[in-house]
Structure 1
Amino acid sequence: MSDTKPHKPLSGTDAPQSPQRRKVLQGAAAASAVAVTGAPWIRDARAAETTTWRIQTSWPGGIGLDIFTDWCESIIEKTGGELEFQPFGANEVVGEFQLFDGVQQGVLEAMNPFTLYWAGRMPASVFLSSYPLGLRNPHEWDVFFYSLGGLEIARELFDRVDMHYVGPIQHGANIIHSKVPIRSIEDFEGRKMRVPGGMVAELFQAAGAKTTLLPGSEIFPALEKGTIDVADYVGPAINYALGFHQVTDYVVMGPPGFLSIYQPVDLMDLTVRKDAWEALSPAMKRFVEMEVHVYSDMHHARIQKADLDAWEQFQEAGTIVTRLSQDDVEAFTELAVPRWFAWANKDRDAARVFKIQLDYMMSPQLGYVTPDMLEGQALEHDV
């Protein structure tokens, strides 16, 4: 905060400041303003040209893609031309489930995926995004990543495949759209359902659904053709923009205050090819890390606002909201707990990530899990 009163000269006189002294003070004030307001990055004088990263997101459209594109286009100004993010929507460069390979093979420098998509390649990634009846609020995931060691483990895992996990990106809960009313766990029996794979798919399979894995861009045509009759995807705003209200009549959620029992916090991330990351200066690496943290907050907030506005649009379209009960939550929990341990026991990395979260959930801080819920379950890896 600047002082509006004139500074006293060191000599103790009230003589006017010299032009040279005024320039020094003005320079100091400008530097202070940059520090306080987060003004655009000052370009490193050694940087001879702009470094461009091609980044593809998992967002196929709607507010998610708009926010991502706006953010990417802001980077070149913030870095004074030193770094540029060139944005691409889902499937524009590589297929949705080829993002991992696209970054590894140099087709892209970075990706902004739903982290859960890599469950088949990296079992621990199941625990780097929300899973059924696990951590339930955005701040709990921030605690995990930024205070309990989650970020360091994620970076270690991606480093092994020549990538750098910069950080998690929050966006919100997933909801279910259905052609038929679903008001209890029993109503999933026999339903053809799109889910993101991994533990989520196994949970709904255990509830009797016939699950399939589809990228977001293929959900609408699958619902329209009747290939599936139930589909999970992200939140109301993006799902409305994708037209799900045109091909379904119902939205299915948990009890009040529990928007989604299976993915209440569906995390994305920014992951960069290792050589592209290492080419940055230490100062630019710190900038990107902090920028992703800020972007996560703004991305989440803007999507929540858009979701609030979208409910009115669904109501006008005649969409009916149905809610599962607390009894259904308990029934799903019984199905989920064995699957927590099955995934944690796939390898040591998955076990050590899950153990951090399990201890957190069992602590008085949260209390989601009690010892009786874990009867008969055990981690097979020494963590």
Structure 2
Amino acid sequence: MTNQNVSRRKALAGIAGLGAAGLAAPHVATAAAHGTNWKIQTSWPGGAGLQIFKDWCGTIQEKTGGELSFTPFGANDVVGDFQLFDAVKNGVLDAVNPFTIYAQGIIPAATFLTSYPLGLRNPHEFDVFFYGLGGLEIARELYAAQGMYYIGPVQHDANLIHSKVPIRSIDDFRGRKMRMPGGMVAEVFTELGAETTVLPGSEIFPALEKGTIDVADYTGPAVNYALGFSQVTKYIIMGPPGFMSVYQPVDLMDITVSMGSWEALSPEMKQFMEMETKAYSIHHHAEIQKANQEAWPKFEADGTEITRLTQDDVELMTEVAVPIWFDYANRDKDAARVFKIQLDYMMSGSLGYVTPELIEGLTLDL
């Protein structure tokens, strides 16, 4: 058996090991004398997300027979989250694994390349958008204009709301001091009467502990438990059964690389990375959900009460959110173009989240 065949078998085994056996492995070439190494930083600061990322990075060298390897960094290890794309452009990093929303500062349409309040509501719906409705091609076009290559989305989790006080309907948000990530999410809750403020994740625990805020959103249960949220809040507020988060049930990351580093890869290695990113998305999402299942009993043991909003609350919040969607879409031609694809999908028989009555009087500036 030749070295090349051994290398190809390793690549196939590696992809299958990530739960993507249905994807055909590319013909990965025998390791070059000096393989390519990418410095890649994630937005995960710790916990399960960071460990899953680092474990995955550690598999790349073997899967490619040494032709490509990753040196992984956690959040803020090289640069801050809001400097990730500058670091890719100027060569400090080769690639990044950010929360996609961080790109909206340089690519306004990135607002719609990830979850937004009451928009697409399940991970598979974003997969349909990217891989079936042309979203991936548009994302790559927009990132290429910034000197970067968007390899693909990475599914993550929902975001939860933790509260010091009971929230049993959307009316209970009125007057509450609430940490939000800004943007559309903050505007929706402001419309509902909350007093929203923007804080980085590292400042949420002390703000809750001191009573500076009553309510905070952040990531899923596994990460939030590790951050100690059960020690400073009594309630987790969720959507109706099957709807984990009433405002952000999907949270997307991605793998983005500098165009120079991307173009330096062989055609076979480019194909490998595109396939591998799909495989990693499946693996990453499943592993986060596994960690969540281990976290729920811990919240229960700490006395945390889970409360669920109703379908009526979802419909009322959707009415609040829809005009805000259109406002953000109309700020940028590409944002409008992306949003139109998703709006048509949400109004179709497949989903039905949006009715003609909900968008009456609203127009898109295409």
Same fold (TM over 0.5): yes
Equivalent residue for 1:66? 51
Cα RMSD for the two superposed structures: 2.3
Whether contact under 8 Å (1:117, 1:197) holds in the other structure is no
Whether contact under 8 Å (2:162, 2:237) holds in the other structure is yes
| Structure 2 residue 162 is the aligned partner of structure 1 residue 177 | yes
Flag the 1:284–1:28 CA change in 2: closer, same or farther, 3 A: closer
Amino acid corresponding to residue 67 of structure 1 in structure 2: I
For 2:250, what is the secondary structure of its paired residue?
coil
2:149 alignment partner, one of 154, 157, 164 = 164
Equivalent residue for 2:173? 188
| Structure 2 residue 132 is the aligned partner of structure 1 residue 144 | no
| Structure 2 residue 64 is the aligned partner of structure 1 residue 54 | no
Amino acid corresponding to residue 87 of structure 2 in structure 1: G
The whole-number CA distance in structure 2 between the counterparts of 1:36 and 1:279 is: 23
The whole-number CA distance in structure 2 between the counterparts of 1:210 and 1:122 is: 28
Flag the 1:42–1:33 CA change in 2: closer, same or farther, 3 A: closer
Shift of residue 49, structure 1, vs aligned partner:
1.1
Whether contact under 8 Å (1:173, 1:265) holds in the other structure is yes
For 2:254, what is the secondary structure of its paired residue?
strand
Amino acid corresponding to residue 107 of structure 1 in structure 2: V
For 1:329, what is the secondary structure of its paired residue?
helix
Q: Which has the larger radius of gyration?
A: 1
| Structure 2 residue 265 is the aligned partner of structure 1 residue 280 | yes
The whole-number CA distance in structure 2 between the counterparts of 1:41 and 1:79 is: 10
Structure 2 counterparts to residues 74-223 of structure 1, below 5 A = 74-223=59-208
| Structure 2 residue 347 is the aligned partner of structure 1 residue 362 | yes
For 1:142, what is the secondary structure of its paired residue?
helix
Shift of residue 347, structure 1, vs aligned partner:
1.1
The whole-number CA distance in structure 1 between the counterparts of 2:309 and 2:81 is: 31
The whole-number CA distance in structure 2 between the counterparts of 1:244 and 1:223 is: 8
The whole-number CA distance in structure 1 between the counterparts of 2:11 and 2:66 is: 19
For 2:156, what is the secondary structure of its paired residue?
coil
Flag the 1:107–1:144 CA change in 2: closer, same or farther, 3 A: same
| Structure 2 residue 228 is the aligned partner of structure 1 residue 243 | yes
Moved more, 348-357 or 99-108: 99-108
1:325 alignment partner, one of 310, 317, 320 = 310
Amino acid corresponding to residue 302 of structure 1 in structure 2: E
Sequence identity of aligned pairs in percent?
67
The whole-number CA distance in structure 2 between the counterparts of 1:67 and 1:181 is: 33
Equivalent residue for 1:346? 331
Uncovered stretches (5+) of structure 1, i.e. residues with no partner? 1-22
Whether contact under 8 Å (1:43, 1:81) holds in the other structure is no
Equivalent residue for 1:379? 364
Shift of residue 354, structure 1, vs aligned partner:
0.6
For 2:38, what is the secondary structure of its paired residue?
strand
Uncovered stretches (5+) of structure 2, i.e. residues with no partner? 16-24
Amino acid corresponding to residue 315 of structure 2 in structure 1: E
1:66-108 CA-partner distances (Å, limit 9, x unpaired): 1011001111111112211111111111112222222222221
The whole-number CA distance in structure 2 between the counterparts of 1:342 and 1:270 is: 28
For 2:327, what is the secondary structure of its paired residue?
helix
The whole-number CA distance in structure 1 between the counterparts of 2:106 and 2:186 is: 16
Flag the 1:98–1:349 CA change in 2: closer, same or farther, 3 A: same
Flag the 1:218–1:89 CA change in 2: closer, same or farther, 3 A: farther
The whole-number CA distance in structure 1 between the counterparts of 2:262 and 2:106 is: 22
Equivalent residue for 1:19? none
Number of residue pairs the alignment of both structures matches: 357
The whole-number CA distance in structure 2 between the counterparts of 1:144 and 1:102 is: 28
Equivalent residue for 2:274? 289
Structure 2 counterparts to residues 36-51 of structure 1, below 5 A = 37-38=13-14, 44-45=29-30, 47-51=32-36
Shift of residue 282, structure 1, vs aligned partner:
1.1
For 1:176, what is the secondary structure of its paired residue?
strand
The whole-number CA distance in structure 2 between the counterparts of 1:291 and 1:28 is: 19
Flag the 1:60–1:30 CA change in 2: closer, same or farther, 3 A: closer
Flag the 1:221–1:53 CA change in 2: closer, same or farther, 3 A: farther
The whole-number CA distance in structure 2 between the counterparts of 1:299 and 1:309 is: 16
The whole-number CA distance in structure 2 between the counterparts of 1:60 and 1:197 is: 20
The whole-number CA distance in structure 1 between the counterparts of 2:201 and 2:167 is: 21
Whether contact under 8 Å (1:97, 1:215) holds in the other structure is no
Amino acid corresponding to residue 225 of structure 2 in structure 1: Y
Equivalent residue for 1:261? 246
Amino acid corresponding to residue 69 of structure 2 in structure 1: E
Shift of residue 181, structure 1, vs aligned partner:
1.4
Structure 2 counterparts to residues 299-310 of structure 1, below 5 A = 299-310=284-295
Whether contact under 8 Å (1:42, 1:80) holds in the other structure is no
TM-score of the aligned structures, taking structure 1 as reference length: 0.87
Shift of residue 353, structure 1, vs aligned partner:
0.5
1:38-64 CA-partner distances (Å, limit 9, x unpaired): 579876458331222111111111111
Equivalent residue for 1:8? none
Shift of residue 329, structure 1, vs aligned partner:
1.1
Runs of 4+ in structure 1 off by over 3 angstroms are: 26-46
For 1:183, what is the secondary structure of its paired residue?
coil
Flag the 1:163–1:29 CA change in 2: closer, same or farther, 3 A: closer
Whether contact under 8 Å (2:40, 2:71) holds in the other structure is yes
